């Protein structure tokens, strides 16, 4: 019998969330970020559902190759840029645009063999301090790219925010975003080219940063990047339901301990359920006792330590629970953000962590 663990991908939710992004930024084009295998939802599946996007953003050339092999013709942008000169023929073959964030990339473009010009997105480090040219380096980098024969006309100027998930007041993150906006504006003043600034959080909370292109990622999958709020709070729909089934219902006595390391003690004689899911499927081992789950549509909780293949569930108050009952780990009725917060992480990590043994279906 096949393992009952299943990730149901709601393609209608993906399309709804894309429409929400367009409604939030009606004057901007949309790059749908589909890196990390579509945030764990399946690259080709997601891209086909989001064919209405103006471009796709990926982190690896192999992902661009997969999209082209799947018949997707939209522009594709390599968000972390190319790594070596041997990548340039592949960029040209696939018709992929690239982010340029380091002087070594400009040197490779200047020395590139003749061929079709490559469209470049020049990244400004306005305060994230990860990738990008420092503000005082931007004009020289722009000039060199403009003069390189291998670079197409129409350089895009871009930025990445560090704290755009904070927009509800005068928080340190809000101040940082305003400082980044000012730094980007100063560094690019007078330079020709369209602008791209907003990640998902900025799409939701910083309308002044929408510019010519927005780059939503987690937003498209219905996941909030804002602490304490779910995608539903912003009118988004979760694109994944992770579920399994009970494979055992057992009775334990008061005082008996459950699972590895005996971390949970039964407070009374009670039923416990055993569900066919664990960290080997991508469910977080860090989820403590008390993490919510749903059994046959009823709210209950994880008890004991999550193991590789199994978890144990509190069935007090569910006397009719039986083997085969459905168990929802996250989805429309149980936001992934809740599970992530309790587990000390973010929803993006949970959906990206689903493993190959989980069966994927579309609805």
Q: Which residues are catalytic?
A: 35, 260
Residue that is written with structure tokens 């149901």 in the block: 8
Give the SS3 label for residue 234.
helix
CB 141 within 8 A of CB 100: yes
The candidate with the shortest Cα–Cα distance to 326, out of 244, 271, 249, 250, is 244
How many C-beta atoms surround the C-beta of residue 164 within 10 A? 26
Please state, in angstroms and as integers, the Cα–Cα distance from residue 251 to each residue in 145, 267, 296, 312, 323, following that order: 69, 13, 19, 12, 13
Six-digit token pair at 303?
A: 């008890």
Separation of alpha carbons 149 and 259, rounded Å: 64
* CA atoms of 86 and 292, how far apart (whole Å): 49
Using N-to-C axis directions, what is the helix angle for 138-147 and 172-188, rounded to 10°? Answer: 50
* Cα torsion 201, 203, 206, 209: sign: positive
Distance CA 219, CA 203 (A): 9
């Amino acid at each position: 019998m096949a393992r009952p663990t299943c990730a149901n991908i709601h393609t209608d939710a993906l399309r709804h969330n894309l429409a929400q992004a367009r409604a939030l930024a009606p004057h901007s084009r949309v790059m749908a970020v589909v890196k990390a295998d579509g945030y764990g939802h399946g690259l080709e599946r997601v891209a086909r559902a989001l064919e209405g996007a103006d471009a796709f953003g990926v982190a690896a050339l192999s992902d661009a190759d997969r999209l082209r092999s799947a018949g997707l013709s939209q522009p594709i942008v390599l968000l972390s840029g190319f790594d070596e000169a041997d990548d340039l023929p592949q960029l040209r073959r696939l018709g992929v645009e690239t982010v340029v964030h380091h002087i070594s990339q400009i040197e490779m473009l200047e020395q590139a063999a003749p061929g079709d010009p490559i469209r470049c997105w020049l990244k400004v480090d306005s305060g994230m301090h990860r990738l990008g040219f420092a503000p005082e380096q931007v004009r020289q980098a722009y000039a060199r790219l403009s003069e390189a024969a291998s670079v197409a006309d129409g350089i895009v100027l871009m930025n990445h925010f560090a704290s755009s998930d904070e927009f509800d007041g005068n928080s340190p993150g809000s101040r940082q975003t305003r400082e980044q906006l000012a730094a980007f504006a100063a560094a690019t003043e007078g330079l020709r080219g369209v602008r791209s600034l907003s990640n998902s959080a900025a799409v939701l909370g910083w309308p002044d940063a929408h510019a010519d292109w927005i780059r939503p990622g987690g937003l498209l999958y219905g996941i909030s990047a804002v602490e304490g709020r779910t995608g539903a709070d912003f009118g988004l729909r979760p694109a994944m339901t992770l579920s399994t089934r009970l494979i055992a219902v057992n009775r334990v006595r008061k005082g008996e301990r459950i699972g590895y390391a005996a971390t949970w003690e039964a407070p009374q004689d009670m039923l416990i359920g055993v569900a066919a899911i664990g960290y080997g499927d991508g469910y977080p081992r860090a989820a403590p006792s008390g993490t919510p789950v749903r059994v046959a549509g009823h709210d209950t909780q994880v008890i004991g330590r999550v193991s590789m293949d199994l978890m144990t569930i509190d069935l007090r108050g569910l006397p009719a629970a039986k083997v085969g009952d459905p168990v929802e780990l996250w989805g429309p009725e149980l936001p992934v953000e809740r599970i992530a917060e309790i587990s000390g992480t973010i929803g993006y990590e949970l959906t990206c962590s689903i493993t190959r043994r989980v069966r994927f279906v579309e609805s």
